[in-house]
Structure 1
Amino acid sequence: MKEQKDLEAVILANEQMMQVLGIIADLGLADSWLCAGTIRNFIWNKGVFDAETDIDLIFYDKTVSYEETLEIERQLRQVFPNYQWEVKNQVYMHHHNPNTQPYSSSKDAMSKYPERCTAIGVRLLVDGRLDIFCPYGLEDIFQYQVRPTPHFQTDPARKALYREWMAKKNWLSKWPNLTIIFPE
C-alpha cells in the first residue's frame, strides 16, 4: 500500500500527468483510465513524463463503435497535439490476444495485458484524488521486472505472442536494469 501512496504522490505532483488525467476525465468516457506503458514508463523514468511515450487511454463502452473510438483519438490528437494519444475501447480489444474471451470492463482488460508491469491504470476522481488499479501490485514495476500476467502464462498461443512482443521491444536499451522473464 505504501508503494501505491508513493505513486499517487508522484503523479499528483507532476503537472503533465495531471493535465493528461484531467483531459481524460473531462471526456466523460465510461470506465476510462490512463494506463499501461504511460504509467509504467513514468515510473521507470523516475517520475519524469516522457513526451515520446504513447498516452494509453482506455475505456469500456458497448455503445461506442470502433469508428467512433478512432474519431475520439483523432480529435484528441488535433486538440492536444503535444501528446501521442492511443485510444482503445476495450470492448473490441480482446481480439488482439489469442483465445481470449470478450472483456467485461477496463479492469478485466488490464488484468489480461501481456506483462504484469503494464497491467496498471490510473484515473482522476471527482474529488481530485487518484484511483489506481494494479491487479498484480507494483512490485514488478518498481523492481524493473517484466514477466507475463497469469492470462499470458496459461495458453501456448499467448505465450508465443508474449515472446514475440518482448523480442520486438527495445526496452533494455532504454532501461538496462530491467529483468525480462519468459514464460515456461
Structure 2
Amino acid sequence: MLETEEDIIQCIQEDEWMMDILRTVQTLELPDWWICAGFVRSKVWDLLHNFSARTPLPDVDVIYFDPANTCEQMEKEYEKQLNSMSSHIPWSVKNQARMHHVSDMPPYSSSVDGIAKFPETVTALGVKLNGSGHVVLTAPWGVRDVLKMEVRPTTYYLGSKKAVYNQRIAAKKWPEVWPKLKIFDTDGKLSIAHKPNVRKG
C-alpha cells in the first residue's frame, strides 16, 4: 500500500534500478541536486496500477542549483558525464538557477523552489540521496494528489499560465498509460478521462 511519503521513499529504496540512477547522479556532487518529476511520479502510478513492468521514461530529469554558473553548456557537460557512466539512461540536466527564464517567472531561490513551480502538483516531486545513502523526498505540494492519482495545476498555473497547463495535459496523454487517473482543469473541474485499452502486467 502506498499512503504516505515514507511509503514512496521505501518503494524507491527497494527499486535497485532507481537507486543505481540516484547513486550515479550523486557522484557528480552537484549543488542542491534532485531527480524529479516523472522519475518519481511514474513509479508511484505504476505501483498503484499494479503494473509488473516499468513504464519507460522519456527522460530522467536531474536538476541542481548553481547561480554562479548558469551557462547552458555546463548542463550539457554534466549530461555527457552521466552518459559516460550510464549510457542507457535518457539523461536531462537543468540548472534551476536559470530555468525561471524558460518558465517566465521570477528567479528561483533553490531547486525545491523550482520544483514547487512545476505545472502539476503530481510532477512537483523530487528525490536524492543524503550522505548516508538514504532517499530523501521533497514534495512542495504534498503527496496526496499523486497518491490519489488526481492531476491538478499548481497555483502558479491558475492565472495567465492556464494555457501552459492545458497544453501539457493534452500532450502528455497520461490516461492512455494510467487509466485510473483523474484529470482536473484549471477551474477545478474534473475532465472527462479517456479510458482506452491499456497494457496489462
TM-score, normalised to structure 1, is 0.92
Matched position secondary structure for 2:91: strand
User: Is 1:113 matched up with 2:118?
Assistant: yes
- The count of aligned residue pairs is 180
Matching residue of 1:180:
183
CA distance 1:51–1:164, shift in 2 (3 Å):
closer
Q: 1 or 2, which has the higher helix percentage?
A: 1
Match of 1:58 among 60, 63, 67: 63
Q: Distance in 2 between matches of 1:23 and 1:51?
A: 19
Match of 1:165 among 165, 168, 188: 168
Q: Distance in 2 between matches of 1:43 and 1:81?
A: 25
Structure 1's consecutive aligned runs of 4 or more residues displaced over 6 angstroms after TM superposition are: none
Q: Distance in 2 between matches of 1:53 and 1:138?
A: 22
User: Is 1:152 matched up with 2:153?
Assistant: no
Matching residue of 1:89:
95
For the 8 Å contact 2:25–2:82, the answer to whether it is kept is: no
Matched position secondary structure for 2:163: helix
Q: Distance in 1 between matches of 2:173 and 2:142?
A: 24
Question: What per-residue deviation string (whole Å, max 9, x for no partner) do you get for residues 89-122 of structure 1?
Answer: 1111112224x10111001000000000000111
User: Is 1:80 matched up with 2:83?
Assistant: no
Larger radius of gyration: 2
Matching residue of 2:75:
69
For the 8 Å contact 1:17–1:49, the answer to whether it is kept is: no
Q: Distance in 2 between matches of 1:139 and 1:67?
A: 37
For the 8 Å contact 1:59–1:88, the answer to whether it is kept is: yes
User: Is 1:7 matched up with 2:8?
Assistant: yes
Question: What per-residue deviation string (whole Å, max 9, x for no partner) do you get for residues 130-178 of structure 1?
Answer: 211001111111111110001112x22x111111111111111101111
Q: What percentage of residue pairs aligned between the two structures are identical?
A: 35
CA distance 1:118–1:61, shift in 2 (3 Å):
same
Q: Distance in 1 between matches of 2:168 and 2:151?
A: 12
Q: Distance in 1 between matches of 2:184 and 2:57?
A: 25
User: Is 1:126 matched up with 2:126?
Assistant: no
- Gaps of at least 5 residues in structure 1 are none
